[in-house]
Structure formats: C-alpha cells, structure tokens
Amino acid sequence: MYKFSPSLMCMDLSRFKEQVEVLNDKADFYHVDIMDGHFVKNITLSPFFIQELKKITDVPIDAHLMVTNPADFVEMTIDAGADYISLHAETINGNAFRLINQIKEKGKKFGVVLNPATPLESIRHYIQHVDKLTIMTVDPGFAGQKFVEEMIGKIKEAKELKERNGYKYLITIDGSCNKNTFKKLVEAGAEVLIVGSSGLFGLDEDVNIAWDKMMDTFHLEVKDISQV
C-alpha cells in the first residue's frame, strides 16, 4: 500500500488548524521543510511549526532539514516532536554517524535525502541505518519545479538495493509528485509520495475535496500496477 505525505509548506497557513484536522484522517506522514536560506535560497517552516503541529496531530512528522549545518537543528527538531529527522547527504558526511546516533538514541527515525545530482553511492557506508530514503526529483528549495526524469533510474536502483540487501528504508519521493508522475514513480519503486501544490493543495481550496481528487487520479493512473 502506497503512502502519502502532504508537504505542509504548500498548505494554506491561514487555515492551518482546519486543514490539518482534515488531513489527520488521511495522511500517512506530514512533511515539514526546514530551510535556512543558505543551503537553499529560501526560508520556510521551523521547529516551532512542528511544536505547534504536534499539538493537533498524531500523524508521524518527517522533518526535512535543508540546512547547511544540520547539527545546529537536530536537537531542537527532536525536542519539537518530529518523528523522522531527514538530513541531506550533502551536508552530513563529515559527521554522519554522530548524527545518526544522536537521532536514534532519542528514539527517532533517521532519514537521508539525496539531491538529484547526488548518487546512492554517497551513502553506502551508512545506508543500513536509514529508515527513510528520500530521493529529490527536483533541485531543492522551491515548489513547482520541473521533474528530473533521470531520477527514475535512481529510484529503481534504490529499490533493487533494498530488496537485495534486506534494507528497511521507505523509498520516498520529494518533488513533482502529481498526476503526470504518479505512475512512473510507483512503477520505479516509490513507496511514499510527498505531495505539495501540484499533487494536492492546488487541486481545490477545500483540502478534503483536493484529497479525493488526488486519490481518484492516483488510482486511475496506477490501476494496472498489481501492488495497489
């Protein structure tokens, strides 16, 4: 069964509580982007946002740290209530094992994120510790970018590695998960789809209706794939 993770940077923040209460009965995860304006040229949500979100949901929260110095953010993100701490491979190879231990010792799940140009090979020394492997299918930083087709091969590689070695990570896709890509992503091996403006929130002002539209489209697109 495939899982869906709304990207909350794309929600209508003026209707934060209303939309979260609708999504609580539908979402498998919440995806919370934390950007520092340096690793990517944008600033979005924060550990404080997670703290407030945690007050109104039991849905697992995946904190995606798009930051240059993740060690500065990990502890406060854990304390805020995130369940998964997802770090960019490009930022952690100097202290990856220290950060993994810090996350796991607090009972949290460790996620790693790969930019489109970053190969799976870059995480081979700690891939066995990964609970959630997020493959970016757009360059990170801003919503609405063009899907990078070359990432289909990376998703297939991640699936093959997982099956061959018995790894437990969830293959998660971040970027342009929508009606144009659902089928190719699922066929390649995607397990968790992070849905933002084009996949969910932009489909209708009423997030309940938007969710139903998304699911109708998803099942129509993947109806011939046996796992669904």
What pLDDT is stored for residue 224 in this prediction? 66
- Asked, for residue 159, whether it belongs to a domain, the answer is yes
Residue 17 burial class via C-beta count within 10 angstroms: exposed 0-12, middle 13-18, buried 19 and up: exposed
Angstrom distance (rounded) from CA 189 to CA 187: 6
Choice among 12, 25, 33, 58 that is catalytic: 33
| Annotated binding-site residue? 129 | no
- Asked, for residue 25, whether it belongs to a domain, the answer is yes
What pLDDT is stored for residue 223 in this prediction? 81
| Annotated binding-site residue? 144 | yes
**Phi-psi region for residue 122, left (φ > 0), alpha (ψ -120 to 50) or beta?**
alpha
| Annotated binding-site residue? 174 | yes
Instruction: Assign 3-class secondary structure to the chain.
Output: CCEEEEEHHHCCHHHHHHHHHHHCCCCCCEEEEEECCCCCCCCCECHHHHHHHHCCCCCCEEEEEECCCHHHCHHHHHHHCCCEEEEEHHHHCCCHHHHHHHHHHCCCEEEEEECCCCCHHHHCCCHHHCCEEEEECCCCCCCCCCCCCCHHHHHHHHHHHHHHHCCCCEEEEECCCCCCCHHHHHHHCCCEEEECHHHHHCCCCCHHHHHHHHHHHHHHHCCCCCCC
What pLDDT is stored for residue 43 in this prediction? 76
Query: What is the residue whose two structure tokens read 């945690």?
Result: 54
| Annotated binding-site residue? 175 | yes
CA gyration radius for the chain? 16
What pLDDT is stored for residue 144 in this prediction? 60
- Asked, for residue 227, whether it belongs to a domain, the answer is no
- Asked, for residue 172, whether it belongs to a domain, the answer is yes
Could you tell me which of 189, 191, 210, 208 has the C-alpha nearest to residue 199?
Answer: 210
Dihedral angle sign, alpha carbons of residues 13, 21, 111, 223: negative
Q: For the stretch 3-15, what's the b/e string if a residue is b when 16 or more beta carbons lie within 10 angstroms of its beta carbon?
A: ebbbbbbbbeeee
- Asked, for residue 136, whether it belongs to a domain, the answer is yes
Could you tell me which of 113, 179, 175, 126 has the C-alpha nearest to residue 150?
Answer: 175
What pLDDT is stored for residue 225 in this prediction? 67
Angstrom distance (rounded) from CA 51 to CA 49: 5
12 flagged as catalytic = no
- Asked, for residue 126, whether it belongs to a domain, the answer is yes
pLDDT in tens, the chain (228 residues): 799 999 999 999 999 999 999 999 999 999 999 988 677 777 788 999 999 999 999 999 999 999 989 999 999 999 999 999 999 999 998 899 999 999 999 999 999 999 999 999 999 999 999 999 999 999 876 666 789 999 999 999 999 999 999 999 999 999 999 999 999 999 999 999 999 999 999 999 999 999 999 999 999 998 866 544
- Asked, for residue 8, whether it belongs to a domain, the answer is yes
What pLDDT is stored for residue 169 in this prediction? 98
Q: What is the CATH number of the domain that holds 22?
A: 3.20.20.70
Please give the residue range of the domain that contains residue 16: 3-221
- Asked, for residue 197, whether it belongs to a domain, the answer is yes
| Annotated binding-site residue? 88 | no
| Annotated binding-site residue? 48 | no
224 flagged as catalytic = no
Choice among 12, 25, 174, 206 that is catalytic: 174
Count structural domains, the chain: 1
